[in-house]
Amino acid sequence: MLKISFNRHKILEWLERELLAILAVAIVGLGTLWVAASDNAVTTMSLTVMPAGGETITVLIPNGGESWQIGSTQNITWNATFTITDVKIELQQTVAGAWETIIASTTNDGSYPWVVTGPATTTATVRISKVGDASVNDTSNVVFSITVPAAAPGGGGGGGLSFTLYPAIDDVAPYSFSNQTDVVLQVRGINFTPASYFTLGHTTIPIIKYVDAHNVQLKVPAGLLAGKYSMSVYNTPNVWMVWGRLIEITVPVKYAAQFVRQSESRITLQVGQTTSLWVEYKNVGTLPWTNFGKNPVRLGTGDPRDRNSVFRYLWSPFNRPAKVVALNSKSSRQVINPGEVGRFTFKIKAPKTNSAYKEAFEPLAEFAQWMSEPVRWEITVVSKPAKTPAVKQPVTGKSTGSQIAPMPNLPQGPAAFYDITESWLRAFTNFFSRLVGGLISGIKR
């Protein structure tokens, strides 16, 4: 007889050791940490706690050590996540003192021109917070100074104080535009004068319309090199200020397409079946589309581009199913000008494998540019239905005399049912009936 004994504590120890040897997964914050555990393992992890919603604000200027004169215009600048729409700016003039509102709400564009107010102090700090959620905020790292301007001779032979009014830019619209044509900018700020002038990088942009001390219009000429430029405003020599946001000048898009419509996006085909698909795009670029020349516009396989499609067998080349054609035009040389709509029509042939396929295509100007997001089709390929065999008609013979009329194709009756089990059951039932019947007859006698 075989006797087996178990030590419960030993089994638990073994299970614990084996479980610790299994790969453990720890998810920390937004990342995933994989740890191979053993009998003895020490793992060090760091965790960064972000503010609620992941939103942050960082004060850039003043951040400590600055000296700003009362009456001068200074740009308070910051960085903040794009999800913050507006910010509140406050001033604290003494350490642990009360907070004074500079502006209760201003657009989160990274810069605000502030006309410095008194009194003078050497312990000022600025706090910037999200409007509607003051817990998202930042404060100057170190104190800065607010000073009184130096005394200057006053009018009428008397003494007095002279204040330098610095200009500052609060907003520019638009701040991103193409260099293809002249662009008029609407500039808002403070302390502008009719003699003010503005610069983009090293290019001077004079005022074309002075509205008031807070609003001017500038005209940026076409042809400036594409790039990002700082904008500055000047009033008098050495009295100027730089806007916190960069102005972006872009190159006009030569080839661009905007989806208009397409043929049915979900279709079902039988194996080997052929059908036509089409898609229309509007030319929203600056150059015409053609189906000839150096940069013919075609439809290419997409997602990924130039892929090898299973429906390619009717295309030439294999990754370019169609050239663009103008609507309602029969010319062999097609031209679709900016603002017009072109169509791509092509055939597909279903492969031999039953499956659900997802196809994507994109328009492009060959050797120049892909032009749009992919257009997509969902194509289901199924087997051909089985063929039903033809019913053979009875063969009619010929008589030596008159023609025998063919028999009509009448419906046939059901075939006789035969089952060996039922035959045995019937035979047993007949035998049992005769036996019982004989017994009853004998009893009667």
Under the banding of pLDDT at 50, 70 and 90, the label for residue 329 is: confident
Does residue 136 register a pLDDT over 60?
yes
Half-sphere exposure of 212 (CA within 13 A, CB side): 1
Under the banding of pLDDT at 50, 70 and 90, the label for residue 45 is: very low
- Which of 165, 229, 164 is CA-nearest to residue 198? 229
Under the banding of pLDDT at 50, 70 and 90, the label for residue 164 is: low
Note the pLDDT of residue 432: 65
In this prediction, residues 5-28 reach a mean pLDDT of 48
Classify residue 404: in a domain, yes or no.
no
Please tell me which residue, 379 or 165, carries the higher pLDDT value.
379
Task: Verify that 331 and 240 share a domain, yes or no.
Answer: no
Does residue 154 register a pLDDT over 50?
no
Task: Verify that 270 and 378 share a domain, yes or no.
Answer: yes
Classify residue 155: in a domain, yes or no.
no
Task: Verify that 173 and 245 share a domain, yes or no.
Answer: yes
**Domain carrying residue 137:** 54-149
Does residue 27 register a pLDDT over 50?
no
Classify residue 29: in a domain, yes or no.
no
Note the pLDDT of residue 439: 65
Q: For residue 261, give the CATH number of its domain.
A: 2.60.40.10
Under the banding of pLDDT at 50, 70 and 90, the label for residue 11 is: low
Task: Verify that 210 and 101 share a domain, yes or no.
Answer: no
- Three-class DSSP labels, the chain: CCCCCCCHHHHHHHHHHHHHCCEEEEEECCEEEEEECCCCCCCCCCCCCCCHHHCCEEEEECCCCCEEECCCEEEEEEEECCCCCEEEEEEECCCCCCEEEEEEEEECCCEEEEECCCCCEEEEEEEEEECCEEEEEEECCCCEEEECCCEEECHHHCEEECCCCCCEEEEEECCEEECCCCEEEEEEEECCCCCCEEEECCEEEEEEEEEECCEEEEEECCCCCCEEECEEEEEECCEEEECCCCEEEECCCCCCEEEEEECCCEEEEECCCEEEEEEEEEECCCCCEECCCCCCEEEEECCCCCCCCCCHHHCCCCCCCEECEECCCCCCCCEECCCCEEEEEEEEECCCCCEEEEEEEEEEECCCEECCCCEEEEEEEECCCCCCCCCCCCCCCCCCCCCCCCCCCCCCCCCCCCCHHHHHHHHHHHHHHHHHHHHHHHHHC
Note the pLDDT of residue 181: 86
111-115 and 133-139 as β-strands: parallel, antiparallel, unpaired? Answer: unpaired
Classify residue 308: in a domain, yes or no.
yes
Task: Verify that 268 and 374 share a domain, yes or no.
Answer: yes
Q: Using CA atoms, how far apart are residues 64 and 77, in angstroms rounded to an integer? A: 13
Note the pLDDT of residue 106: 94
Domain boundary among 382, 408, 424: 382
Classify residue 361: in a domain, yes or no.
yes
Does residue 9 register a pLDDT over 60?
no
Classify residue 227: in a domain, yes or no.
yes
Note the pLDDT of residue 69: 84
Q: Using CA atoms, how far apart are residues 245 and 78, in angstroms rounded to an integer? A: 11
Task: Verify that 377 and 266 share a domain, yes or no.
Answer: yes
Paired tokens of 268: 């079902």
Note the pLDDT of residue 148: 76
Q: How many domains does the chain have?
A: 3
Please tell me which residue, 329 or 167, carries the higher pLDDT value.
167
Task: Verify that 206 and 186 share a domain, yes or no.
Answer: yes
Over the chain, what is the mean pLDDT?
Answer: 80
Task: Verify that 291 and 198 share a domain, yes or no.
Answer: no
Does residue 417 register a pLDDT over 50?
no
Under the banding of pLDDT at 50, 70 and 90, the label for residue 44 is: very low
Please tell me which residue, 334 or 14, carries the higher pLDDT value.
334
In this prediction, residues 32-39 reach a mean pLDDT of 38
Note the pLDDT of residue 276: 96
Tell me the sheet residues that pair with 26: 33
Contact present, 226 and 250 (Cβ < 8 Å): yes
Task: Verify that 271 and 370 share a domain, yes or no.
Answer: yes
pLDDT digits (tens, 9 = 90+) for 357-373: 999 999 999 998 899 88
In this prediction, residues 245-251 reach a mean pLDDT of 89
Residues contacting residue 166 through CB under 8 Å, at least 6 positions apart: 72, 73, 74, 191, 235, 239, 240, 241
Please tell me which residue, 36 or 149, carries the higher pLDDT value.
149
pLDDT digits (tens, 9 = 90+) for 61-77: 999 888 888 888 899 99
Note the pLDDT of residue 306: 93
Task: Verify that 263 and 378 share a domain, yes or no.
Answer: yes
Q: Using CA atoms, how far apart are residues 167 and 112, in angstroms rounded to an integer? A: 12
Classify residue 194: in a domain, yes or no.
yes
In this prediction, residues 168-176 reach a mean pLDDT of 92
Does residue 50 register a pLDDT over 80?
no
Note the pLDDT of residue 117: 85
Q: In which residue are the tokens 């001077």 written?
A: 204
Ranges 51-55, 91-95, 97-101: which has the least confidence: 51-55
Provide the sign of the torsion angle of the four alpha carbons 262, 263, 265, 269, taken in this order. Answer: negative
Domain boundary among 149, 182, 210: 149
Domain boundary among 206, 224, 250: 250
Give the count of beta carbons closer than 10 Å to the beta carbon of residue 276: 11
pLDDT digits (tens, 9 = 90+) for 344-403: 999 999 999 999 999 999 999 999 889 988 999 999 999 988 777 766 666 655 545 545
- Which of 201, 202, 197 is CA-nearest to residue 187? 197
Does residue 5 register a pLDDT over 60?
no
Task: Verify that 295 and 369 share a domain, yes or no.
Answer: yes
Does residue 58 register a pLDDT over 80?
yes
Model-level pTM? 0.39
- The maximal CA–CA distance of the chain, rounded, in angstroms, is 167
pLDDT digits (tens, 9 = 90+) for 274-312: 999 999 999 998 899 999 999 999 999 999 999 999 999
Note the pLDDT of residue 362: 96
Note the pLDDT of residue 398: 53
In this prediction, residues 416-437 reach a mean pLDDT of 59
Note the pLDDT of residue 80: 93
Note the pLDDT of residue 235: 87
Tell me the sheet residues that pair with 246: none
Note the pLDDT of residue 385: 85
Classify residue 443: in a domain, yes or no.
no
Task: Verify that 83 and 123 share a domain, yes or no.
Answer: yes
Residues contacting residue 27 through CB under 8 Å, at least 6 positions apart: 33
